[in-house]
Amino acid sequence: MRPESPSLTPPRPLPGDFTVTFNFPLSVLLIDNYDSFTYNLVQSLGELGCEVTVWRNDAFTLDDVWALNPDAIVVSPGPCTPREAGQSVAVIRELGPQFPTLGVCLGHQSIGEAFGARVERARRPVHGKTSPVRHEGTGLFAGLPEEVPVTRYHSLVVRDLPPELVPVAWTTDPEEEVLMALRHRDYPVYGVQFHPESVATEGGMALLANFLTLVREYRAGAEVNA
């Protein structure tokens, strides 16, 4: 399978006072869940300095991932459920302990599926809606304002997290409070229900840069402990 390596251009301007460091020469495997937003993510990661390889969710094995040995994995949005998303759930469940992983939208839901949360229909599906998100201010959200507007496209939500999954961001819809981001308690696995690659998500590039910072820190620690 041929890696997709987008040409690097300076990061696009961000709303608000965010600083994005253009210094992440990392290899990223992006699992494409047959979604139109996939290459927006490819572009955003490329702008941050990453070499991105794109594989369709049903066109590889876990052994292929081990052979590629990327610095990080990103699981894309998609139009289906986690159980219909090819290898996405298996990659998260089996490889998440070793490979820093970010799940976006369907990828976020796939993290929930992989570790035993409930993935269910939202009481109100959203398509292209901008919502204010509250967060804990660390990890993916380090340096972002206490409340940030993000772009949402989803009809599923993650509920009833098991102890190993930690909620880190929320939004309040008229019908319910909706989980917008999570992390694994022990593994370098993170999920966001919204779309950080959308131009309408404030600080989306900063969030991706925060993920890449976490990847770099994890890799540095792994090398020290090797």
Catalytic residue (one of 105, 108, 113, 154): 105
- pLDDT at residue 11 is higher than 60: no
Is residue 164 flagged as an active site residue? no
Instruction: Locate the domains of the chain by residue range.
Output: 27-225
CA 86 to CA 108: how far, in whole Å?
15
What's the mean pLDDT in 129-155? 96
Is residue 197 flagged as an active site residue? yes
Is residue 217 flagged as an active site residue? no
CA 42 to CA 182: how far, in whole Å?
22
* Size (the chain), residues: 226
pLDDT in tens, 155-197: 999 999 999 999 999 999 988 999 999 999 999 999 999 999 9
Q: What is the value of pTM for the model shown?
A: 0.90
Q: Which two tokens stand for residue 67?
A: 């052979």
Give the residue from 23, 119, 33, 113 showing the smallest Cα distance to 73. Answer: 33
Catalytic residue (one of 51, 113, 197, 202): 197
Give the residue from 119, 114, 117, 86 showing the smallest Cα distance to 101. Answer: 114
pLDDT in tens, 70-97: 999 999 999 999 999 999 999 999 999 9
pLDDT in the model for residue 164: 98
Strands 118-135 and 72-75: unpaired
Domain 27-225 class in CATH: alpha beta
pLDDT in tens, 38-63: 999 999 999 999 999 999 999 999 99
Q: Which two tokens stand for residue 129?
A: 């809606």
Are residues 182 and 105 in contact, defined by beta-carbon separation less than 8 angstroms?
Answer: no
The pLDDT-based confidence of 224 (bands split at 50, 70, 90) is low
